[in-house]
Amino acid sequence: MNGPFRNGLLHRFDPKTIARLELRRVELPAKHEIEIPGRRVDELVFLEDGVASMTTCFHDGGGAEIALAGIESVLGTSALPGFKKSPNRVFMRVAGYGYATQTPMAQEEFNRCGVFQDLILHCNQALFVQAAQTAACNSRHSTQQRLSRWLLLCADRNVDRILPFSHDDLAEMIGARRSTVTVVAGKLKRLGVIEYTRSKIKILDRPGLERISCECYATVRDHLQ
């Protein structure tokens, strides 16, 4: 399989690496699960389109979103350091597609200690920074700042400024009550930075949204560049 690829990792691999991975295209509808807590990770997926969410799950069935991933990333890498089962839930927030490789092939390529390993480790580091920043943000910043940050991070990974999120989705993403999200989203709408319907949000004024957001957005964004 030859490029060009949109994925930030795939387009940096040489043709021999691409051939060894035996990539196949996979469609990724919204809510599709790529990693499930306690289950084996059978494949890695390089996103070409769409937005994925990484969440930590609790025994009561709830969860907290800790990171987002898009075309800059690869999903399923928890299998490469040797974890036999996934510690997190990873699923598609925004539908898209990608290229998948079987975990044994990825593991063999990772063990070659070349560019593949370097880029996978950099990707994992970026996810770690995002998760750590999310934890800090949740303890220090307002719901309005946190919502603005997540909208910006989602927009960075979605070429369309229209985001297919309901208020329930937003509440889950930032760990807030739905009623609180409704109030905050209404305020952002009155400020003219977004508009929304029942299940769609459109960013109207990105610079304005960046001013409302906290410093955590720039920290995560700059680390990905």
CATH 1.10.10.10 assigned to 141-224:
yes
Taking a C-beta distance cutoff of 8 angstroms, is the pair 208, 151 a contact? no
Domain ranges for the chain: 10-137, 141-224
Q: Is the pLDDT of residue 125 over 70?
A: yes
pLDDT digits (tens, 9 = 90+) for 166-176: 888 888 888 88
The pLDDT of residue 85: 80
CATH H superfamily, domain 10-137:
Jelly Rolls (2.60.120.10)
Q: Is the pLDDT of residue 94 over 80?
A: yes
Percent above pLDDT 70 for the chain: 95
